[in-house]
Chain A
Amino acid sequence: MRNTYLQFLQLVTGIFIAVLLGIHMVIMHLDAILGFFGVDVTEATSWESMIERAGQGVWAGLYIALLAFVLYHALNGLRGIILELAPSATTERIVTWVIIAFGIIAFIGGTYVPLALLAGQELS
């Protein structure tokens, strides 16, 4: 039963990721086409543009939400593939805990930086 809920969360996070990552991809990669429609997002990866977005709470919130959804979706997907290749109770225990630990560490690391930038911490 537990795996049913995990799989259902996989669908739900998938939908959120499609929307949020869709926005991210369009801004990062479709600058020439957006420019054609009069939206100027050139050099989204420049330091100034990145810091400007990082200083806005909405962007920080969206990125942190995206990080949470993506980490769940990616790691749960990987868990499914590994358990399909090597199904056993031991593998399941090890893989599940390693993935949970990795996910928490990645989430803390990935949340700390946007929060620090949002707080306007002086960077060298």
Chain B
Amino acid sequence: MQNILERLELQANSFQESFTHLSKSKSLEQLAKSFFQILRGNLLVTDAAVFFKARNDKDWKNLFSKNGCSEECLHYFAEENSFGINTINYSNFEISIILPVFDRGRFGILIGKKLDKTSFSESDRISLQFFLQQLNSAYQFIMSREKEKQLIFSLNHRVLQLNSLIDTGIEVARLREGKQLLELALERVLALTNASRGMLRVKQGRRVVEKLWFPDAIISAPVNNESYTISTSFKFGGKKYTFYLFEKESRRGIIEFDGTDQLLLDAFARQVHVSLENHYLHQQSLEKELIDQEISVAGSIQKKLIPEELPDIEGYELCGINIPTKFIGGDYYDCIPLKDGRFLLVMADVSGKGVAAGLLVSTLHASAHAYVESPFELESLVQRLNEVIFDSATVEKYITAFFALFDPKTGTVESVNAGHNPTYILRKNRTVDELKTGGIPLGMMRMAFPYEGAKTTLGPGDSVLLYTDGVTEAMNAAEEEYDDIRPLKNFLLNNHGVCAGDFIEGLIEDINDFTGDTPQSDDITALYFIRKSS
């Protein structure tokens, strides 16, 4: 009894060791070899040959054969899909076995004669069945381990894809040079989809303006199979960017791309698109900043064209104001002292605002100051200024202007109104005259006939208001204009006798009261002067 127990224990240990040995195998070939070693150790077999067929449509593969085995022995396994142990008499072999495994594969095994030349006993056959069961289990174990490895690899690869998508997004956002950015995106998406090659084509209309390949060495290589290609496109800045990926690699050869590959390619292309847009917007913002700085400087220069202080004229009070809506306004006023003691008063409004308007104001200012250095007639001066502005301005640009040649000693005022709002003269007796005589705005056309002038005299207590349409057309929230609701003439009459400074201050307050929170839509400019009562 003790003897039997010892034998059984020995047998059990042997089975345990054999399974451990089998399951350590790293390949089917190694598994087959280990299986032979176990049979030889336990059953004293001289020879064995192990074949494997993965699926019905696959060929038998010889995993192990101690003394060689020709292909003719495969007929023992033909047409057999179920488990079976058969006695044969073929060459050195005595037993043939078909062992189906869990995944539709099957082993075909030939077992040679025993070393002692005895036949396999019933006990040997039972042991053999145990070892075959262990082979089956070890096969399952190896396959599971392999699948687990593949799963871990696949999960890591997914993490890598996501990580690279994020990293590449950050990296392409940092890159400023377009080609570098495109190359990086192409390399990354190529690696993550296992494409064997990739290309980026940039087209402008029908013309290809750029073509990048990775790897570089395959520039001249033809694409063998169009069905193994994925692509994605986007348009930006008048160009069409198309990414192409060719021939996805696997350990089994070239395979088709899957949905994830297309998603990744689309995502990378979107990142490149966004990055290109961001770079463009950043560049635009830098350029705008530069232009704003230049406009600000130009605005400061232009403000100097308008006199900071008006001349102190004995017997008169003067006050002026200019409130531009942009850095560079289109309104201009001036009071230029002449050598003969007279003054040239100018109130002008360029159509439009901004840099172009500012340039015309500068031209008017420089020309007026230059021409008054020599003796002149007012109508001729305006005629010359018209020609200068006409030559300087584009078709849609012109200047409405009012010019007054004013002699403080006598109070005479010669005027020319070049298409500007009428200038008001508030007489001491509370009547209002309008100075409208003149001609068309400056720069509108090169006229063949002269401007017409008007002449009047200011008596003590009379006052004059020059202004631009920014005053009369100041708008409230209901889109009503100031002059329609609160006629400027009324303001003038209601403020008769008020000093020049208070008059201007009151006028601006009244306009602000009228417009409320509505943003100022045009430059506001006004010049008021009074001949003091003696």
Q: Do A and B bind each other?
A: no
Binding site for A on B (CB under 8 A): none
